[in-house]
Amino acid sequence: MSIEYVTNTENTIDVFENEIDENIKYFCEENNIQDICSISQSVFNGMLIYIYRKCFKGTNKLKNNNIYTNVGVKNNSSTNCNSYNITLINKLCDYYIFICRLYDKEISLTGFSYLTGIDKDTFYDWRDGERKRLSFEHAEIYKKLNQGREESLSDKLATGNKNPVGILAILNHHYNWAGVGNMEERKPQTVRLSDVQKTASLLSDNLPQDGQQIDQKQPVKLSDN
């Protein structure tokens, strides 16, 4: 028995990027969305699910391109071992991150799962290396999504037009950021001109005259004014 390899070159990242861009346009047209930056995170996630249904659902586009044909086996069965094309998914992850940054949305493992249909538990398996049998590229995808989430959330704090309490709560829970209490602003102390003048007058009244010595134990007398 021998194995023949047939490479499928139809599915490329360029093809996927074009399909994603087209379906973003269709989603906005169907839902009368003028500015994606202005939509909520929930609606944005709905757009990701829309793209998945149009591009990837019910297909093997994200599976391994290398088809293994078992020559000599009954019916010469062909299979890709149901494995994902990890290089292609890694590039798709980069494009997903780009879209989130372009439209000021949170990067997350959940969002990428919506886009690709890959179960979230699969990403955790890739993170753990499935007992170190997987390649570095598998773990790299999880790392990109995890770091990207922290960066996208911190960017929202820097923008200043979002509710910082909720964002900080997420960052503190998942990334050990400082507590929400640190967001309390300290009010600057204000000094009135009249207070300054009064202090200056008190100091002037108690300064020693020429030839006099200061009695360190003599209390300072405050004027009635």
Query: 152 or 121: which carries more pLDDT confidence?
Result: 121
In a domain, 194, yes or no: no
Domain range enclosing 148: 2-180
In a domain, 111, yes or no: yes
pLDDT the model gives residue 57: 95
How many helices and strands (H and E) does the chain possess? 8, 3
pLDDT the model gives residue 157: 67
Each residue of 80-89: pLDDT tens digit? Answer: 456 899 999 9
Q: What is the DSSP letter of 103?
A: T
In a domain, 101, yes or no: yes
d(CA 162, CA 73): 61
b/e sequence 7-34, b meaning 16+ C-beta within 10 Å? eeeebeeeebbeebeebbeebeeeeeee
In a domain, 195, yes or no: no
Model confidence, pTM: 0.65
* pLDDT at residue 47 tops 70: yes
pLDDT the model gives residue 83: 87
pLDDT the model gives residue 159: 64
In a domain, 206, yes or no: no
pLDDT the model gives residue 11: 81
In a domain, 218, yes or no: no
The type of residue at 114 is: Y
Query: Total domain count for the chain?
Result: 1
